[in-house]
Structure 1
Amino acid sequence: MSKAVIINGGNTRKSRLTAIHQQVGRFLEQEGIGHHSIYVHELPAIDLLTANFASEEILGANALVEEADIVVILTPIYKASYTGILKTYLDLLPQKALVDKRIVPIAIGGSLGHLLAIEYALKPVLSVLGATEIFNTVYFLDRQIERLEADGYRIDEEAEQRLNVELLKLAPAKIIN
């Protein structure tokens, strides 16, 4: 059975990125893929900023990555780059942490121009960490995720379909009789 880890590079659980995170989690559950989540902003800031490789929390998060076959990386795009907090965590992963893993980068930003931040900033870092099977980036515009009056969000149908196309590549093969 496949295992997945979702690395959330946002700075809060109350954002549009949360809607994407929840959708990915639901998909993994429906496909019978066990998963854990790493909310990078909830790791100790002092350990992230001082590159404390011996931190129990960092080692615990790294163990989740090591055990996973699938790594989903979520990040908002700010000022034409993925988040600094995500970078601080990626810097604490072991050198070849992403070898033999399927990687799904997912980002959200204010304009289509920010899509290139994943191609030219995040994907090279993932490659240095040993990733060779990096799926197509799923990029959301802020306006494709509506904040509801009640606590929650609604993802635009077209955007959700694009997400599902990439996620279906992760699903185990089903035998049809």
Structure 2
Amino acid sequence: MSKVLVISGSPSPTSKTELVGDYIARRLAENEWHAGHLKVRALPAEPLLRADTAHPRIATALDQVAQADGIVLATPTYKASFSGLLKTFLDLLPQYGFTHKVVLPLATGGSTAHVLVLDYALRPVAHSLGARHVVQSFFLLDKHMTRDSGGLHIRSESTGMLDDVIEQFRKALVAPF
């Protein structure tokens, strides 16, 4: 069974981005993938900011990335870019930390004016880390998501497109390279 790791970089404990990451992990698990979810905000701040890769929790997180066949990068959009928290974590990876991996970039935000964060910020970082393949990215508008006691609800017009992107990601994971 192949492994997929969702890495979410939201600093908020009430993050819709994290809930989207959970949704993707569940959808992949339905298709017999082992899908984990690394919430960068849950890592200890001081070792993360000091780039202490020997710290046990940081080392474990880096090992999760190394063991994954596929990576989903999930980030809220801040100042027309991906989160600094996600960037801090990605900076800890080796130069080619995504070698032989398939990557799905995903961003959430309040306006389609920020959709270019995927192509001009997140996708180049995934390529610079040596990704085997970066699949079509996806931008999910905040207004298409609601949160309640049952979790996250995504409006049908976005759910269908998101499911299509997840399917493309799943197919890329099994494609020979």
Query: What TM-score do you get using the length of structure 2 for normalisation?
Result: 0.91
- The separation in 1 between residues aligned to 2:8 and 2:78, in whole angstroms, is 15
What residue number does 1:156 align with?
155
Superposition deviation, residue 151 in structure 1: 4.9
Q: Does 1:134 align with 2:134?
A: yes
- The separation in 2 between residues aligned to 1:75 and 1:33, in whole angstroms, is 22
Unaligned residue ranges in structure 2 (runs of 5+): none
**Matched ranges for 1:7-22 at <5 A:** 7-22=7-22
Deviates more, 1:155-164 or 1:81-90: 155-164
Cα RMSD over matched residues?
1.5
**Matched ranges for 1:9-158 at <5 A:** 9-148=9-148, 150-158=149-157
Unaligned residue ranges in structure 1 (runs of 5+): none
Deviates more, 1:14-23 or 1:3-12: 14-23
CA contact (8 A) 1:3 1:34 kept: yes
- The separation in 2 between residues aligned to 1:96 and 1:80, in whole angstroms, is 25
CA contact (8 A) 2:40 2:89 kept: yes
Work out the percentage of aligned pairs sharing the same amino acid: 35
- The aligned amino acid for 1:75 is T
Q: Which runs of 4+ in 1 moved over 3 A?
A: none
- The separation in 2 between residues aligned to 1:12 and 1:56, in whole angstroms, is 23
Superposition deviation, residue 13 in structure 1: 4.0
What residue number does 1:165 align with?
164
- The aligned amino acid for 1:128 is S
Deviates more, 1:18-27 or 1:41-50: 18-27
- The separation in 2 between residues aligned to 1:153 and 1:67, in whole angstroms, is 28
